[in-house]
Structure 1
Amino acid sequence: MSGNADPRATGERTTSRARLDRGRGALGPALGLVHTGRAPTRAVLTAELGVTRATAGAVAAELEALGLIRVDARPGSAAGSQGRPSHRLEVAEDGPVALAAQVHADGFRAALVGLGGRIVATAPGCETVDADPAKVLGSVVEAGAELLRRTGRRCVGAGLAVPSAVAEPAGLALNPLHLAWPVGAPVREIFAERVRAAGIDGPAFAGNDVNLAALAEHRHGAGRGARDLLCVATGHRGVGGALVLDGRLHTGSSGLALEVGHLTVNPEGRPCHCGSRGCLDVETDPLALLVEAGREPGPEVSLVQQAVDLLRTQYDDPAVRRAAEVLIDRLGLGLAGLVNILNPDRIILGGLHRTLLDADPGRLRAVVADRSLWGQSGSVPILPCTLDHNSLVGAAELAWQPVLDDPLEALAGSDQA
């Protein structure tokens, strides 16, 4: 130490470092609390983490130094509140991003997603999906790489959402029925190769689109605060489901849980791709609504957009209303069976199912209550999903997870550990 160094400043730095060392294990949990909006102030962060105010301050300062959050330098208190005002915490608007990609039957989309589930930029892709997954994933990654070049953002990793069960640990798409991809396509490996080839930093992940939508809604949307959350949604084609238990996505022993699209709700119904008949997948998806309403699907926009527009603009048409009632009854029957098995404390609906709920919420809730054991004694809340592009946000959550687990390891490197 030089002779003119201030020993008090050195002591303060040493004390701050010691506090951070004690709170190293709290960095990830602290970031998770800010990320999901559960710690809007440093006082709340202190209480949630169960640490001293000084340690919480050191943790918040380190997360700010990493460029992940912002700490309000001028704490203020709400009108009428008592006690010492607390510093407000929020995610850094100009911080790092994750590259999120989604492929569906009508095309693909790339996005950059920051902490807090905030979409920074998006790039829609083509409207036709090649039968070769390598071509499609190469295109969507290039769209994402262009977004990164344009914005100049640091990237923590990449996540991919696909309309298929994704088997773990290999990351194989086992049933990409609506994409014409080969069964068992190694989508995670292909995606990771394209990400590396594009010079994008960070690890790459892949998952089922509805699983990822449920994860995003649980952290940032209609599922926030639920303990056992059931999500059922129509994609551009077909129906998917997901379950979040005690805050964690439940994917089963190998990533294949909650294939709810293949619950039978109409034994004499349409043949399903799985070999059965009358599954939710073919009885309550956008094509089913259009056919039930006597409408010929057109090529101009996606099937899901055609179905949603039909409900929103022509619901007074008796044929459209009747078709909606048929789908609501079938959906309600499927949900009732899931309630009996899973006993969730909340159900959220996405895609066309969200629009069906909006069209006649009383009918759907009545069917579920009438057909489910637990619906009789206490109805399960059924809510619409609230996030735009929730599968994209969920794909980004996969890429953000290593940072949420250990921000220093993921961002600062071992020399700062």
Structure 2
Amino acid sequence: MNGRADKATTTRTRLERGRSALGPALELVHTGRAPTRAVLTSELGVTRATAGAVAAELEALGLIRVDSRPGAAAGSQGRPSHRLSVDDTGPVVLAAQVHADGFRAALVALGGRTVATAPGCVTVSSDPAQVLGAVVAEGAKLLRDSGRRCVGAGLAVPSAVAEPEGTALNPLHLAWPAGAPVRDLFIEQVRAAGIEGPAFTGNDVNLAALAEHRHGAGRGAAQLLCVATGHRGVGGALVVDGRLHTGSSGLALEVGHLTVNPEGRPCHCGSRGCLDVETDPLAFLDAAGRDPGPEVSLLQQSRDLLRTEYGDRSVRAAAEQLIDRLGQGLAGLVNILNPDRVILGGLHRELLDADPARLRAVVADRSLWGRSGSVPILACTLDHNSLVGAAELAWQPLLDDPLAALT
């Protein structure tokens, strides 16, 4: 009797241990860090049998696929390990983004893959409920057309989002009222559309950094600093050991209000010469002597100008001016935060591509102890990374506990 009870206890313990590993295992496959069962076994620190059971359960839940007969690589010896990948037919989440020039809705699968997208390049009204209703309606249509199961929704906005209230404190380029309850409004619209699963809201650059850390240029970084322009303004984010550093109330890393030119342009925050107004697309167009047009976004106009007219003296001078001010800001951030990688998005990515040596030299020249100048500065690699990051918010409950999220 005792032997039977001991065996039952051992079986129950193994089962509980395996279930507790479901979330970490799914995250490893989701982020591409466990392409095989052998790697999964090593990363989880479990036995091969336990890793196999975990993979089998995730496959049964419709989340991953296990290829038990992978082809061996040329010249390799021994039996190849089972290959793991996300299930292309599995559930999706609704991702939404609002910016100064419109909005975009998308369905995103595990692995950060965009399944369908619906851009909405419209004038963003001053009523956040109306805008969020429109973007959710586009997402709901995508879901109906796809027939896929939705397990959550995430929204990226160009504003600091205060916690725990979920309010947009400074939607400066949207004409929304300060303190707009964007999280509650988004949840209301998601529920009204009949979309299942929890709904989340976050700052667009924070979410871009999270997406790049899991699926893009930030993979493998322990302390990842992201600085990026949106369609207007500049934002920053820090990912530490895989998690966003948001501070005590969600407002950390408002790097756009770091002064880089004390005699510069007045900023919305009341100061002068902030990164936000000295290194964003409007600042670049102004410095190059170009009048912004209404046809496409300021960000796209700036990109086109850099790519097609960089040989023009005024365009090159404007780029060098922004690079110097961006480098000054990055040097201060690197000296304070000591990241092991810096990634740049939006117009800043284009500036890095235009003259990487100049930007890195500015940062190195202002580095402390000669160390900050050696930090890698890379371009973001994901298209629509804020959208992918919004999806990551929605995926998090599933990554934390797949069984609970699906049942």
TM range (shorter): over 0.9
Match of 1:308 in 2: 303
Aligned to 1:368: 363
Quick check: 1:121 aligned with 2:116?
Answer: yes
Query: 1:79 offset after TM fit, Å?
Result: 1.9
Q: 2:71 aligns with which of 65, 76, 82?
A: 76
Q: Given the alignment of the two structures, is residue 320 of structure 1 paired with residue 312 of structure 2, yes or no?
A: no
Pairing partner for 1:102 from 97, 101, 121: 97
Q: Who is 2:5 aligned against?
A: none
Output the CA distance in 2 between the equivalents of 1:22 and 1:248: 24
Question: Partners of 2:14 and 2:64 in 1: how far apart?
Answer: 19
> 2:270 is matched with which residue?
275
Q: Which amino acid in 1 is paired with 2:279?
A: T
> Are 1:20 and 1:58, in contact at CA under 8 Å, matched by a contact in 2?
no
1:376 positional shift: 4.8
SS at match of 1:157: strand
* In 2, Cα distance between equivalents of 1:130 and 1:44: 49
What residue number does 2:48 align with?
53
- Name stretches of at least 5 consecutive residues in structure 1 with no aligned partner: 1-14
- Per the alignment, residue 5 of structure 1 pairs with none
Match of 1:382 among 350, 370, 377: 377
Identify the match of residue 220 of structure 1 among 215, 236, 251. Answer: 215
8 Å CA contact 1:91, 1:116 repeated in 2: yes
User: Partners of 1:33 and 1:374 in 2: how far apart?
Assistant: 36
Mapping for residues 3-82 of structure 1, pairs under 5 Å: 19-82=14-77
Q: Does the Cα contact within 8 Å between 2:152 and 2:394 map onto a contact in 1?
A: yes
Amino acid at match of 2:208: A
Letter in 2 for 1:220: H
Distance in 2 between residues matched to 1:222 and 1:249, nearest whole Å: 16
* Mapped contact 2:246–2:253 kept (Cα < 8 A): yes
Instruction: Determine the structure 1 residue equivalent to 2:339.
Output: 344
Give 1:170 deviation, angstroms. 1.0
Q: Which amino acid aligns with 1:185?
A: A
User: 2:194 maps to which residue?
Assistant: 199
Q: Which moved more, 1:372-381 or 1:91-100?
A: 372-381
Task: State whether structure 2 residue 325 is matched by structure 1 residue 333.
Answer: no
Q: Pick the aligned partner of 2:140 from 145, 150, 154.
A: 145
Distance 1:390 1:374 in 2: 34
| Cα distance per residue 1:200-221 (max 9 Å; x no partner) | 0000000000000000000000
Counterpart of 1:398 in 2: which secondary structure?
Answer: helix
* Pairwise CA distance, 1:377: 6.5
Query: Which consecutive residues of structure 2, in runs of 5 or more, have no partner in the other structure?
Result: 1-9
Output the CA distance in 1 between the equivalents of 2:311 and 2:154.
Answer: 41
| Residues matched between the structures, number | 399
Paired with 2:350 and 2:82, the residues of 1 have a C-alpha distance of: 40
Distance 1:119 1:350, change over 3 A: same
Contact 1:76–1:87 (8 Å) recurs in 2: no
Kindly indicate whether the alpha-carbon contact (under 8 Å) linking 2:228 and 2:234 is maintained by their aligned counterparts in 1: yes
Q: Distance in 1 between matches of 2:301 and 2:211?
A: 25
Following the alignment from structure 1 to structure 2, what is the Cα–Cα distance between the partners of residues 127 and 118?
A: 25
- Partner of 1:117, secondary structure, is coil
1:102 maps to amino acid: Q
Shift of 1:127: 2.0
User: Secondary structure at the residue paired with 1:270?
Assistant: coil
- Cα pair 1:112 1:120 within 8 Å, conserved: yes
Determine helix, strand or coil for the equivalent of 1:201.
coil
1:291 partnered with 2:302: no
What amino acid maps onto 2:98 in structure 1? V
The question of 1:162 aligning with 2:149 is answered no
By how many angstroms is 1:94 displaced? 0.9
Give the whole-Å Cα distance in 2 for the aligned partners of 1:354 and 1:178.
Answer: 21
Equivalent pair of 2:360/2:373 in contact (CA under 8 Å): no
Please give the secondary structure, in 1, of the residue aligned with 2:49: helix
Secondary structure of the structure 1 residue equivalent to 2:20: helix
Give me the whole-angstrom Cα distance separating, in 2, the residues matched to 1:184 and 1:235: 20
TM-score by length of structure 2 reads 0.96
Rate the CA distance shift 1:184–1:374 in 2: closer, same or farther, 3 A.
Answer: farther
Query: How far apart in 1 are the matches of 2:241 and 2:49?
Result: 30
Q: Deviations over 1:164-190 (max 9, x none)?
A: 000001100000000010000000000
Partner of residue 400, structure 2: 405
Distance verdict in 2 for CA 1:181–1:374, change over 3 Å: farther
Q: Which amino acid aligns with 1:355?
A: E
CA distance in 2, matches of 1:377, 1:148: 46
> Taking structure 1 as reference, are residues 48 and 374 closer, same or farther at Cα in structure 2, changes over 3 Å only?
same
Q: Tell me if structure 2 keeps the 8 A contact 1:110–1:122.
A: yes
- Residue in 1 that maps onto 2:3: none
Quick one: distance in 1 between partners of 2:121 and 2:388?
20
What is aligned with 2:237? 242
**How much identity, in percent, do the aligned residues show?**
85
| Residue aligning to 1:256 | 251
Against the structure 1 CA distance between its residues 377 and 156, is the aligned structure 2 distance closer, same or farther, given a 3 Å change threshold? closer
String of CA shifts for 1:143-180, please: whole Å, max 9, x gaps.
Answer: 00000000001001000000000000110000000001
**Partner residue of 1:93?**
88
Question: Could you tell me the TM-score, scaled by structure 1's length?
Answer: 0.94
CA distance in 2, matches of 1:208, 1:22: 35
Partner residue, 2:177: 182
Distance 1:287 1:378 in 2: 28
